[in-house]
Amino acid sequence: MPIVIGLTGGVACGKSHFGRELSRLLGANYIEADRLAKAEMAHNPAVRNALIQAFGPAIFLHDGSLDRNHLREILFSSSEAKRTLEAIVHPAVRTRWQTSVSSARASCLNLVVEIPLLFEVKAEEFFDAVAVVASSETLQLQRMMEKRGLSDAVARKILASQMPISDKVHRADYVIWNDSHLDFLMNQAAYFADFLSRPNV
């Protein structure tokens, strides 16, 4: 029976690696809310104009692309700025992934939707199950600094701005713990895909 999975977790926990592999194994379409958000900010005139109105023209570079470093500074300077951004971008993103969920159900297709703020935006009801990819805070910080080139201060601010991973784990239907190497994470994706493919899951 086709299944629609909501995937979430903490920053630098390996959500996308896990989600892509799980989708491949399930023969499922894979949607990343972050990619949808980037597309909306890059190509949706209404969203772009609203961002300029809220944050000024410096939010975009001369080539028209989003200045992510400038945006990060704005968001860290004010919780109100973060709420403003979410109010502009999230409705458009939500409409897109909800349309995909409805289409998958109508076509009896498997679907995995990765939404970093899945619990925060109360999206649980749209999915047959929610899986959380989690790891220790120490490892999250290490990955952000080593793989994303962020400073310790910026990495800690990012963590502090998010729902605690323990809360997400508590609310999840399934938990994937990623404190090891990538091969181990891929093995968990294979096990989970096999589990989901069994009758009556």
Secondary element (H or E) of residue 107: helix 79-107
Report percent pLDDT > 90 for the chain: 82
Q: Does 148 or 20 have the greater pLDDT score?
A: 20
Angstrom CA distances, 179 to 13, 40, 110, 170, 182, stand at 8, 33, 28, 18, 9
Q: What percent of the chain has pLDDT over 70?
A: 99
Name the β-bridge partners of 112. 5, 30
> For position 69, what pLDDT does the model report?
86
pLDDT class for 27, splitting at 50, 70, 90?
Answer: very high
**Is residue 171 predicted with pLDDT exceeding 70?**
yes
Write out the DSSP string of 21-67: HHHHHHT-EEEEHHHHHHHHHHH-HHHHHHHHHHH-GGGB-TTS-B-
- The domain total for the chain is 1
pLDDT of residue 166: 95
pLDDT of 74 strictly over 90: no
Amino acid at site 23 = S
CB-count exposure of residue 136 (10 Å: 0-12, 13-18, 19+): middle
pLDDT at 200 over 80: no
Digit-coded pLDDT (tens) for 32-61 = 999 999 999 999 999 999 999 999 999 999
The chain-wide mean pLDDT, for the chain, equals 94
Supply the CATH number for residue 65's domain: 3.40.50.300
Range of the structural domain that residue 77 is part of:
4-197
What pTM did the predictor assign?
Answer: 0.92
pLDDT for residue 188: 97
Assign 90 a pLDDT band (cuts: 50, 70, 90).
Answer: very high
pLDDT tens digits for 108-140?
Answer: 999 999 999 999 999 999 999 999 999 999 999
Look at residue 201 in the predicted model and tell me its pLDDT: 58
Residue 78 has a pLDDT of 81
Is the pLDDT reported for residue 79 higher than 90?
A: no
